[in-house]
Amino acid sequence: MYGIRELYRPVDGSVEVDIVAVHGLNGHATETWTSKQGTCWLSDLAFLPKYIPRARVLVWGYNASIASWNGKTPSSDRVLQHAQTMVSQLEADRDLEDAAERPIIFLCHSLGGIIVKRALAYAESRPKLAHIYSIYTCTFAILFFGTPHHGSSKANLFGSLQKLATLAVPKTAMEFESGLVNALEKESEILQNITDQFAPLMPNFRIFFFWEQEKTNLKYKRDYIVEETSAAPILDNTERCGIGADHQGMCKFHSPADQGFRTAVAALRRYTRDAPSVIQRRYQRSADVQRDEKMLQAAELLGTIPPRVPGSCQNFSRSLEAADSVFLGKARGPPSSAHQGSNLKDLIEGKEPARPEPAHVAGHEHKQVEVDIKDHY
């Protein structure tokens, strides 16, 4: 199953936050979070919905297969393409739900964490596309389950992943796709670039790192897939905790009494409680900045204010005042001044500005009202 799927929403429809779960390599949108007993803790009423009843729970699925034995063709996408797809599909879902301003909390397993990090960096790089940028603005927290933030410490990670797959079928029956697997290798260029892009954004999010405390059975030996130092780097203002399970089992809980579940859901409940007020203020600030930027661009196109000088906050402030004056039609003077304000508003709203009337009335020439620009420089 690919794309966005809703697993749970409050019965009365009163939603305070969107919780979005993203699976890892060779994972599945829902099975990654489902125990052997068939319990999906994201949607089962005895699990997450019991403690966070005002959350809408979503999963996002994508082709992260590394072998053809599971009935899917190997993925030809790379991390960036997956990230862009996730942002667009999540934004579309929230737009249709009239929930563009709702807080977002991500749950990520393994490679899913790398995709989410890349997705947020991508969204943040598109401030002029307000709908895309909103995914970054509205993200409040991220819970990482076994994500290799510093790559794997093993040079033969690809071989280890092959061994994981051979638990199901013989190695000779597989055809591996190395593009996604390479993103997990230590010092890989992809992972390093994503880490560099995400690092400046981290202070804007609440982050919880979880690592696996049990080794995975690789048929011929047992070993960790992602070690503690990679899954839970020690960073300021972040939380970290081990989970008593292997890499695949660390995000599956069969009982509400599981300590891993209790730790994760307590964090989710805390984040859900704090998110609405924070995201509301952040979203409003973002909307104000985007509005001001549009006003300045439109005013410059009409020639009502001089071009901005980079690095000058004072010039920006005064230019904004001038643009605002024109936009609101506050400048005193003959009709041509009000006409400028109308044109500016039309440009901001995407309309074709009207042509000005000739500046002659009853044989008397009206002087063009000018915005005083001497103080802008």
pLDDT digits (tens, 9 = 90+) for 140-196: 999 999 998 876 544 444 544 554 454 444 454 445 555 656 655 544 667 778 888
pLDDT at 6: 97
| Per-residue pLDDT, 315 | 54
Give the pLDDT confidence score for residue 152 in this predicted structure: 58
- Cα–Cα distance, 334 to 366 (Å, whole number): 7
Burial of 352 (0-12, 13-18, 19+ CB in 10 A): exposed
Q: What is the pTM of this model?
A: 0.76
Q: Of 51-55, 70-74, 155-159, which one has max mean pLDDT?
A: 51-55
Q: Is the predicted pLDDT of residue 367 greater than 50, yes or no? A: no
Q: Are strands 216-217 and 139-145 parallel, antiparallel or unpaired?
A: unpaired
What average pLDDT does range 83-112 have in this prediction?
Answer: 96
Domains of the chain, residue spans: 3-284, 303-376
CA atoms of 128 and 69, how far apart (whole Å) = 43
Q: What is the dihedral of CA 19, 25, 30, 34, to 10 degrees?
A: -100
Residue among 52, 59, 60, 45 nearest 15 (CA): 52
* Residue 257: other Cβ atoms inside 10 A: 8
Amino acid 156: pLDDT:
41
Predicted pLDDT at 75: 62
Cβ atoms of 40 and 48 within 8 Å: the answer is no
Determine contact, residues 167/174, Cβ cutoff 8 Å.
Answer: no
Percentage of the chain with pLDDT > 70?
A: 67
Please tell me which residue, 208 or 334, carries the higher pLDDT value: 208
Least confident of 17-31, 42-56, 246-260, 362-376: 362-376
Average of per-residue pLDDT across 48-64: 96
Are 215 and 224 contacting, i.e. CB atoms less than 8 angstroms apart? yes
The CATH number of 3-284 is 3.40.50.1820
At residue 308, what are phi and psi to the nearest 5 degrees?
Answer: -75, 150
Lowest-pLDDT range of 201-205, 250-254, 258-262, 364-368 = 364-368
Beta bridge partners of 40: 34
Range picked from 78-82, 118-122, 291-295 for highest mean pLDDT: 118-122
Alpha-carbon distances, residue 270 vs 118, 131, 207, 275, 280 (angstroms): 25, 27, 12, 9, 17
Q: Pick 267 or 229 by higher pLDDT.
A: 267
> Of 306, 325, 297, which Cα lies nearest the Cα of 375?
306
Beta-carbon contacts of 256 under 8 Å, excluding residues fewer than 6 positions away, are 46, 47, 50, 262
CA distances from 283 to 100, 159, 219, 276 (A): 10, 45, 50, 10
Q: Report how far residue 200's alpha carbon sits from residue 186's, in angstroms, rounded to the nearest whole number.
A: 21
